[in-house]
């Protein structure tokens, strides 16, 4: 089992070594966490595993032996705890999150152990270490039996979804390897853990210090029929990919080396995918089929849970980072409100109502806790009413998000059901969350791709959407003509809306002044709003001086071809100033208004407007009639 | 629906259940295949109705499905639960079974996930490249992560001007062949001061030409994230290092502001002045690195392989005479010995080991059987007690 021992048997024959390597390369990997406080012998157990699997080098063993004599607690024997307890400096560092990862391997498996020392921060550290663990080894001192902390460890394991528990009853050497003691502790534990719903609980009597039932079955406990600890860890079944689990690929990165390739990169959270499989994208609801699974080693026939892949699709559909590609028959739920279990990890308590950044496997969204339903006492598992969650507390909360996210309940999929909360100011990770269920039941009925587009909306109104953009000097007659056009269109039963200074400056843009930057922003917002109106299928009339060609071009480019109709109300400056309906020209001439278009600020007349109106030769009524005729002839109205 | 139809319905349900049993597919999967509805079969079993036309279509699909599954079952009569769902011909060998992830597969996927996540969130990332085996693995993973695109970040090599000559040649060739942008930074001030390991000692040389140089390069490039090839198994003090390690202004490691890392969710948001060191190989061991190099046939500098090289023995360490700058004592005469290097760095600070391993399997065998830890050959580690710890605080890794 120890890797070095067997390799020594391998001859120097290169083929033998290669064969041996091939076997090693096909090992599986198990991640586990050890739970227990210092007194339970956790460090001794990990040190023992490292030592017995021959992971240590001679120089490290020499150091260990010297340290054991100098600082150890085991007399002349090796103090394995020194291997993992670390340097004095390390303890003094005051690392806030204290999870150490250790590695060892045997012939069959590579192991990653999450080791979470420390009593104070226990819940936070343990939740962190347990989040990636396949199995938890819960240590119990045979002299003490099941304690409050055993219950706490078990609860946290259950909370983060560990389904396989090893109850390691340690220090059997100190109770004379007594079977009765072990049996009583096991029975106690099983009674307690019944309600936690673990898939399996395996109890093993051990002595980490003496090496009993660690790598091989102990001769001192012949009464124990089960396997020793390490053989169990080597053979315990992993949660392997299930072929019929719903396919989930959180998209991390859109891969676009050139115009001919568009791939979607991410790590498969569950299920299997093959070329030809139908997929549906959350949140857009768009559907397509997988064209290929690309890797540097060539395209794959299939890929499953845990694999980092790049998919290409048959259709060109819009997918970006943060989206979730799902199997066609099993789209994920989407919600902007859900209930979740939360472990609070920051010194500053949780504040319901405060905005946090919620980060999932591949996307971030702004969210708030709308309701803290209760907190859970990790020692007694009692539910208690609470107004806030403090460091290391666990609670159940309702969340509200700024936009919907696609998810699965945590118990079904850890990868698509988990999230962290990030403080907006410090950027610290302040909590870990596990989604229970959506609070919007109605949305569980699956959405379809939004086939209702602007064409459908416009057709329902018997028109073609467009934006009539009136530009011209102050007093040129823009608003007068626009109002007349709208009245005529309304008479014809068309659906319209006017955007002008009056209804925009008082609401949407009331925060903007008249600096250059604000003027540009003013027009940008108006253009974006007009675009939304067009998307709604409306005929939108915009009446703004909009003196600069660049802003009008920007508006034109926001819209599709044929949607932007520029109308230059080309009344000469002299005529406008003579009319001076609002007395503004007079004020500008007196210098009371700065940057007045036509006086001390330029008006850039459109070079090629769709329509030019000359109000010196045509009345406003006639001009409006001309514009409506233009729309009729252009096919905007006759549908 | 007639009695006859109802019997046909019962027959269909029975056959579907048997198929599910035999194939290992769940009933809802079979149901989806038959009715395009995962709950269809369950509804029918509970007394639900369907049209005759739907029944006929489902029966037809079931016929096809049974035919499809038959040969697979014949070939692999004792499929395990996890294997069973793969319904292709079953001829593929275990390693290519898409459902089975070996430990190297899992480590590879994890590293790629980290790289993609960081590249997507960072404003201006860079990958530190040291020419060594870990850098070679990290670069290989980066090429895989973004294939067919090139990695969306440049590589950065901090050249102390005392690296093995072969390392520089290897670096330039790899960058050229792979079409990668390789930034090289040298601390010009250190060069002007004539800093070197022989004249200034290993500690000062490393500080000025490596640690300070790295900070200069990161500041000059305004990089917010730097990928590094460090592993948790290298050093006891690294066991608690995060995958994303946050550095305060001046690149100081700030133990109080490290963040918990749960699942595969990485918080890469940074405040002004903060930077990140990202370690995608955190969970790899030295053995994993070698096995991966073997499996993926990754090219590494030949310094890792034993060859006759001119060396002198100093304080029990074999130092290779790589150029004329090496001062030789009166009694020192370079001898050709079969040596290789377990780590690569500045040649005066990197001890070779006597070895006959000229192939990768031989190196791996030596590595597996070796009795001394990897860093023993590094002269800098012996300099000060807990030296790695201190160097990390100062911004070196």
DSSP string, A195-264: GGT-SEEEEEE-BTTTTBTSSS--GGGTT--S--HHHHHHHSPP-PPPTTSPPEEE--EEE-SSTT--EE
Give the domain range for residue B205: 103-278
The DSSP bridge pattern shows strands B244-247 and B225-227 to be unpaired
Any domain includes A431: yes
- In B81-120, the residues whose Cβ lies within 8 Å of chain A are 82, 84-88, 94-95, 98-109, 112-113, 116-117, 119-120
Q: Are residues B169 and B115 in the same domain?
A: yes
Closest approach of chain B CAs to the CA of A99, in angstroms? 6
Of A235, A268, A290, which residue is a domain's last? A235
B241 and B260 housed in the same domain: yes
The pLDDT score that the predictor gives to residue A627 is 95
Q: How confident is the model at residue B75 (pLDDT cuts 50, 70, 90)?
A: very low
Say yes or no for a CB contact (<8 Å) between A361 and B88.
no
**Which contacts qualify for A4-7: CB closer than 8 Å, 24 or more apart?**
A4/A54, A4/B368, A4/B369, A5/A54, A6/A107, A7/B365, A7/B368, A7/B369
CATH of the domain at A18: 3.40.50.300
User: To the nearest whole number, what is the mean pLDDT of chain A?
Assistant: 87
Pick from A21, A302, A419: CB nearest B364: A21
**Considering only CB atoms, which chain A residues are within 8 Å of B262?**
127-128, 131-132, 418, 420, 432
pLDDT at B76 exceeding the cut of 70: no
Please indicate, yes or no, whether residues B198 and B308 belong to a single structural domain of this protein: no
B244 contact A CB<8A: no
The residue behind tokens 């966490």 is A33
Q: Which of A305, A327, A349 is the last residue of a domain?
A: A327
Number of domains in chain A: 4
Residues of chain A where predicted confidence (pLDDT) is lower than 50: 1-9, 87-96, 442-450
In a domain, B285, yes or no: no
Residues 273-312 of A with CB under 8 A from B: 294-296, 300-308, 310
Interface membership of A95 toward B (CB under 8 Å):
yes
Same domain? A475 vs A369: no
Q: Give me the residue label for tokens 């860079």.
A: B126
Domain contains B376: yes
Query: Same domain for A189 and A307?
Result: no
Q: Which of A418, A444, A470 represents a domain boundary (last residue)?
A: A444
Q: What is the rounded CA–CA span in Å between residue A613 and residue A478? A: 10
Q: How many CA within 13 A on the CB side of residue A400? A: 9
Residue B280: predicted pLDDT: 98
A269 and A303 together in one domain: yes
| Assigned domain for B286 exists | no
Residue A638 lies in a domain: no
B30 lies in some domain: yes
My answer on whether A293 and A409 are in the same domain is: no
Residues B325 and B238 in one domain: no
> For the segment A530-551, what is each residue's pLDDT rounded down to a tens digit?
999 999 999 999 999 998 888 8
A110: in domain: yes
Q: Are A120 and A98 in a shared domain? A: yes
CA–CA gap between residue B344 and residue A340 (Å, rounded): 49
Whether B116 and A253 lie within 8 Å, measured CB to CB? yes
pLDDT in tens, A318-368: 899 999 999 998 999 888 899 999 999 998 999 888 889 999 999 999 998
Same-domain status, A32 and A170: yes
B95 pLDDT more than 50: no
Inter-chain contact A243–B117, Cβ cutoff 8 Å?
no
pLDDT band at B373 (very low <50, low <70, confident <90, very high): low
User: Which of B62, B96, B130 corresponds to the end of one domain?
Assistant: B96
Taking residues B75-86, report their average pLDDT.
33
CA gap A362, A250 in Å, rounded: 6
Domain extent, residue A276, equals 248-327
Query: Annotated active-site positions of A, please?
Result: 546
Do A316 and A361 belong to one domain? no
Searching chain B, which residue's CA lies closest to the CA of residue A29?
Answer: B103
Could you tell me if B172 and B138 are in contact, meaning their C-beta atoms sit under 8 angstroms apart?
no
Assess if residue B247 is contained within a domain: yes
Smallest Cα–Cα separation from B354: which of B373, B338, B369? Answer: B338
Which of these three, B68, B96, B124, is where a domain ends?
A: B96
Number of domains in chain B: 3
Is residue B246 located within the same domain as residue B357? no
For residues B110 and B230, state if they share a domain: yes
| Strands A28-35, A109-115: pairing kind | parallel
The verdict on A283 and A395 lying in the same domain is no
Domain of B134: which CATH number?
A: 3.40.50.620
B157 vs A: CB within 8 A? no
Alpha carbon distance, N-terminus to C-terminus of chain A: 80
Whether residues A228 and A298 share a domain: the answer is no
The pLDDT value given to residue B372: 57
Q: What is the pLDDT of residue A600?
A: 83
Question: Domain check: are A339 and A314 in the same one?
Answer: no
Same domain for A372 and A319: no
Which has more confidence, B316 or A217?
A217
Do B118 and B92 have their domain in common?
Answer: no
Q: HSE-up of A216 (CA within 13 Å, CB side)? A: 5
- A475 and A620 both lie in a single domain: yes
For B112, the closest chain A residue by CA position comes to A308
Measured from the Cβ of residue B66, the count of other Cβ atoms closer than 10 Å reads: 16
Give the domain-ending residue among B278, B311, B342.
B278
Q: Are residues B137 and B191 in the same domain?
A: yes
Identify whether residues B43 and B123 lie together within a single domain: no
- Chain mean position to CA B152: 17
């Amino acid at each position: 089992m120890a890797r070095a021992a067997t390799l020594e048997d391998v001859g120097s024959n290169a083929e033998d070594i290669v064969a041996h390597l091939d076997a090693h390369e096909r090992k599986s990997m198990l991640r586990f966490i050890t739970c227990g406080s210092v007194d339970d012998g956790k460090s001794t157990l990990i040190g023992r595993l490292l030592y017995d699997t021959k992971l240590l080098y001679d120089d490290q063993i020499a150091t260990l032996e010297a340290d054991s004599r100098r600082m150890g607690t085991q007399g002349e024997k090796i103090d394995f705890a020194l291997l993992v307890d670390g340097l004095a400096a390390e303890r003094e560092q005051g690392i806030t999150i204290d999870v150490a990862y250790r590695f060892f391997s045997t012939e069959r498996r590579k192991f990653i152990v999450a080791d979470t020392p420390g009593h104070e921060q226990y819940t936070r550290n343990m939740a962190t270490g347990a989040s990636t663990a396949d199995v938890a080894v819960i240590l119990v001192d045979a002299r003490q039996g099941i304690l409050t902390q055993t219950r706490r460890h078990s609860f946290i394991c259950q909370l983060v979804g560990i389904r396989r528990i090893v109850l390691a009853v340690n220090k059997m050497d100190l109770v004379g390897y007594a079977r009765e003691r072990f049996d009583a502790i096991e029975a106690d534990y099983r009674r307690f853990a019944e309600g936690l719903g673990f898939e399996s609980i395996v109890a093993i009597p051990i002595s980490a210090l003496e090496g009993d039932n660690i790598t091989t079955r102990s001769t001192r406990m012949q009464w124990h029929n089960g396997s020793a600890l390490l053989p169990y860890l080597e053979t315990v079944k992993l949660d392997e990919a299930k072929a019929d689990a719903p396919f989930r690929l959180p998209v991390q990165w859109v891969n676009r080396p050139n115009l001919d390739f568009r791939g979607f990169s991410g790590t498969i959270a569950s299920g299997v995918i093959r070329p030809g499989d139908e997929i549906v994208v959350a949140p857009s609801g768009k559907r397509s089929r997988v064209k290929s699974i690309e890797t540097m080693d060539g395209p794959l026939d299939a890929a499953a849970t845990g694999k980092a892949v790049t998919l290409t699709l048959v259709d060109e559909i819009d997918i970006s980072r943060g989206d979730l590609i799902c199997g066609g028959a099993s789209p994920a739920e989407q919600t902007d409100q859900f209930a979740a279990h939360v472990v609070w990890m920051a010194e500053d308590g949780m504040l319901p109502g405060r905005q946090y950044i919620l980060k999932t496997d591949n996307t971030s969204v702004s969210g708030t806790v709308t309701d803290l339903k209760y907190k859970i006492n990790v020692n007694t598992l009692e539910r208690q009413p609470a107004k806030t969650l403090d460091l290391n507390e666990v609670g159940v909360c309702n969340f509200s998000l700024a936009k919907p996210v696609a998810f699965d309940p945590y118990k079904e999929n850890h990868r698509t059901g988990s999230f962290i909360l990030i403080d907006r100011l410090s950027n610290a990770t302040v909590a870990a969350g596990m989604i229970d269920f959506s609070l919007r039941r109605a949305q569980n009925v699956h959405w379809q791709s939004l086939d209702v587009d602007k064409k459908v909306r416009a057709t329902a109104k018997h028109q073609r959407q467009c934006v009539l953009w009136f530009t011209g000097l102050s007093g040129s007659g823009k608003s007068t003509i626009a109002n007349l056009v709208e009245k005529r269109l309304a008479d014809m039963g068309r659906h319209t809306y006017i955007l002008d200074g009056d209804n925009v400056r008082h609401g949407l843009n009331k925060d903007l002044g008249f600096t250059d930057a604000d003027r540009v922003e003013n027009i940008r917002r108006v253009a974006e709003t007009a675009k939304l109106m067009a998307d709604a299928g409306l005929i939108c009339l915009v009446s703004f001086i909009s003196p600069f060609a660049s802003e009008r071009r920007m508006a034109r480019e926001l819209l599709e071809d044929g949607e932007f109709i520029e109308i230059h109300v080309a009344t000469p400056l002299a005529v406008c100033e003579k009319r001076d309906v609002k007395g503004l020209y007079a004020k500008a001439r007196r210098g009371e208004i700065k940057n007045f278009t036509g006086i001390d600020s330029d008006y850039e007349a459109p070079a090629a407007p769709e329509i030019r109106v000359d109000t010196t030769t045509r009345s406003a009524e006639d001009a409006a009639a001309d514009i409506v005729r233009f729309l009729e002839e252009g096919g905007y109205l006759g549908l | 629906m007639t009695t006859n139809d109802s019997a046909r319905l019962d027959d269909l349900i029975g056959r579907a259940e048997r198929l599910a049993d035999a194939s290992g597919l769940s009933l809802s999967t079979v149901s989806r295949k038959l009715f395009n509805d995962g709950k269809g079969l369950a509804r029918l079993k509970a007394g639900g109705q369907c049209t005759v036309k739907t029944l006929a279509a489902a029966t037809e699909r079931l016929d096809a499905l049974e035919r499809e599954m038959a040969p697979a079952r014949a070939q692999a009569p004792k499929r395990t639960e996890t294997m069973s769902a793969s319904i292709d011909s079953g001829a593929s060998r275990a390693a290519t079974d898409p459902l089975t992830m070996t430990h190297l597969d899992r480590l590879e996927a994890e590293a790629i996930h980290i790289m993609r996540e960081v590249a997507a969130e960072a404003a201006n990332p860079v990958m530190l490249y040291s020419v060594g085996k870990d850098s070679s693995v990290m670069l290989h993973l980066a090429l895989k992560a973004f294939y067919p695109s090139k990695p969306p970040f440049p590589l950065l090599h901090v050249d102390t001007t005392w690296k093995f000559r072969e390392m520089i040649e290897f670096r330039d060739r790899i960058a050229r062949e792979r079409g990668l942008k390789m930034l090289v930074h040298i601390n010009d001030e250190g060069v002007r001061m004539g800093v070197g390991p022989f004249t200034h000692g290993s500690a000062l040389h490393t500080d000025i030409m490596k640690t300070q140089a790295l900070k200069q390069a990161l500041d000059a490039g305004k990089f917010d994230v730097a990928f590094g090839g460090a592993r948790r198994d290298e050093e006891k003090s690294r066991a608690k290092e995060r995958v994303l390690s946050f550095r305060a202004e001046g690149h100081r490691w700030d133990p109080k502001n490290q963040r918990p890392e749960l699942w595969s969710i990485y918080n890469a948001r940074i405040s002004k002045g903060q930077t990140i060191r990202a370690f995608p190989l955190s969970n790899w061991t030295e053995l994993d690195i070698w096995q991966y190099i073997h499996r993926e046939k990754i090219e590494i500098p030949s310094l890792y392989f034993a060859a006759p090289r001119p060396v002198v023995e100093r304080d029990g360490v074999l130092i290779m005479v790589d150029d004329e700058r090496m001062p030789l004592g009166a009694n020192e005469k370079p001898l050709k010995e079969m040596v290789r290097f377990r780590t690569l760095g500045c040649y005066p600070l990197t001890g070779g080991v006597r070895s006959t391993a000229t192939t990768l399997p031989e190196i791996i065998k030596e590595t597996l059987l070796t009795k001394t830890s990897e860093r023993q050959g590094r002269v800098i580690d012996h300099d000060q007690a807990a030296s790695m710890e201190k160097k990390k605080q100062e911004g070196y890794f």
